[in-house]
Structure 1
Amino acid sequence: MGGQLARLQHRPRRGASERHAGWSARVLHVPAVRDVAGTPRQPRSGHLQVHDHVARDQSIGLPALAGIAAALLLVASGARGDPSRFLPWTESSTPALSLSDIAGRPHAVADYRGSVVLVNFWATWCEPCREEMVSMRKLQERLAGRPFVTLLVNYGESRLRVSEFVKRESVGFRILLDPNQDASRAWRVRVLPSSFLIDGEGRVRYSVIGELDWAGADAVSMVQDLLR
């Protein structure tokens, strides 16, 4: 499959739904964001990136989504199971997360105190997000009966669109809606997918930028350590 950064194709300006259909993307899956020279960089404020494990450095852009500007995608390297993918959380506190699910029921991170929580930011149009769900499901099954919860926070899409996706794909997770990206901004999400591991005390311990094999030995070990 290789590590190739593919082109994102942008068509002339049209209506929002047509513009959305006019983009295609498969971009690099990363352990940490770096530029083409290998220098670590932070995503620029207000820009979103999408990462995948199949690409190589060529032209760059962003899947069109209403209200999001096109942005430069940064290149990085690394294996999907690399334990260095788990970046220690350095902020002083855990950002607020209080959203409703598809049925309108409220959820907050505080509701799951005592459990290890995996918070994953994703979108239906994000292919690496969809692929990552397979390994997250395997992780959830492996830890069945343990105090472990997975919360999938949808980035900026309508309830109807997400509901249709969940029914079609039989997604077995708690899906929370972030239609105005308020939670995404609070959590400084600049890359999809982005994940965060929260310990039983409600503290964020690690973040993961890009797609990860959550069923892999390193990820399972990291979660089990937090469960102890």
Structure 2
Amino acid sequence: MKKSVLILITSIILVGVSIYTVSTYISSPSENNTSAEGAGNSITSQSNSNNESTKPIGINPSVTKTKAIDFTLKDLDGNEVSLSSLKGKKVFLNFWATWCPPCKAEMPEIEKLYQETKDSDLVILAVDIGENLNTVKPFIDENKYNFKVLLDSDQSVATQYGISSIPTSYFIDTDGNIISKHVGGMNIEQMKAYIKTLDK
């Protein structure tokens, strides 16, 4: 009898722990949330195989558009670039750093995309997080990348966009609305699939 009661009590405890664990997991914030998470998040690199096929988010028409936060940053030549000045163009906004392996693996794919789309209405902005000109410029020059690179040395823009892992990319339509977001590295086909979500 005592053994039966002990088994019953143990079962009740296990069920309770299971319910708590599941409810905690479900209530945790989604990685695809585009709202700012605030300062203090450690930025980590997120690996995603360049051969992996993932379905772009944002294709579902029920997805609510989010206005992209405007910012002004300097490029590698010291020229200021504002997101708001690109209204009327599609924007592929990529957050990265030179120390991030999946970012570096993704860069040749971004360059391929740039070469294919440089005469179109697509603008690629690669925002380096937390590094200075002396670190970023040699990396870009050495690899002969031609897309626009901006410096977010104090991570203020990354904080506004809630960036907690890199690479993270946003796809912004001609009205300045974020349509899709991707966390992790991509290949050119995935990038093109996201860009298609910007067509009206």
TM over 0.5: yes
Segments of 5+ residues of structure 2 without an aligned counterpart are: 1-24, 32-36
Question: Are the structure 2 counterparts of residues 46 and 148 from structure 1 closer, same or farther at C-alpha, using a change threshold of 3 Å?
Answer: same
Question: Are the structure 2 counterparts of residues 42 and 225 from structure 1 closer, same or farther at C-alpha, using a change threshold of 3 Å?
Answer: closer
Contact 1:152-1:176 at 8 Å conserved across structures: yes
Q: Is residue 2:186 matched to residue 1:224?
A: no
Structure 1 residue 140: deviation in Å? 2.1
Question: Are the structure 2 counterparts of residues 98 and 87 from structure 1 closer, same or farther at C-alpha, using a change threshold of 3 Å?
Answer: farther
Segments of 5+ residues of structure 1 without an aligned counterpart are: 1-37, 55-78
Aligned match of 1:81: 53
Question: Are the structure 2 counterparts of residues 221 and 51 from structure 1 closer, same or farther at C-alpha, using a change threshold of 3 Å?
Answer: closer
Matched-pair identity in %: 23
Contact 1:120-1:196 at 8 Å conserved across structures: yes
Q: State the secondary structure of the residue aligned to 2:68.
A: coil
Contact 1:87-1:207 at 8 Å conserved across structures: no
CA–CA separation in structure 2 for the residues paired with 1:86 and 1:137: 24
Aligned match of 1:202: 176
CA–CA separation in structure 2 for the residues paired with 1:147 and 1:196: 16
Question: Are the structure 2 counterparts of residues 155 and 133 from structure 1 closer, same or farther at C-alpha, using a change threshold of 3 Å?
Answer: same
Superposed CA deviations along residues 39-78 of structure 1, whole A, max 9, x for unmatched, are 7754686122211136xxxxxxxxxxxxxxxxxxxxxxxx
Question: What is the root-mean-square deviation of aligned Cα atoms in Å?
Answer: 2.7
Contact 2:66-2:178 at 8 Å conserved across structures: no
- When normalised by structure 1's length, the TM-score is 0.64
* Greater mean deviation of Cα atoms: 81-90 or 122-131: 81-90
Structure with bigger gyration radius: 2
Superposed CA deviations along residues 3-41 of structure 1, whole A, max 9, x for unmatched, are xxxxxxxxxxxxxxxxxxxxxxxxxxxxxxxxxxx9775
Q: Is residue 2:102 matched to residue 1:102?
A: no
Structure 1 residue 85: deviation in Å? 5.2
Q: State the secondary structure of the residue aligned to 2:198.
A: helix
Aligned match of 2:46: 51
Structure 1 residue 144: deviation in Å? 3.7
The alignment of Structure 1 onto Structure 2 pairs a total of residues equal to 166
Q: Is residue 2:150 matched to residue 1:155?
A: no
CA–CA separation in structure 1 for the residues paired with 2:43 and 2:59: 19
Contact 2:97-2:128 at 8 Å conserved across structures: yes
Aligned match of 2:117: 143
- When normalised by structure 2's length, the TM-score is 0.73
Question: Are the structure 2 counterparts of residues 87 and 189 from structure 1 closer, same or farther at C-alpha, using a change threshold of 3 Å?
Answer: farther
Superposed CA deviations along residues 64-115 of structure 1, whole A, max 9, x for unmatched, are xxxxxxxxxxxxxxx7321145588757432122101122110011111111
Greater helix proportion: 2
Q: State the secondary structure of the residue aligned to 2:67.
A: coil
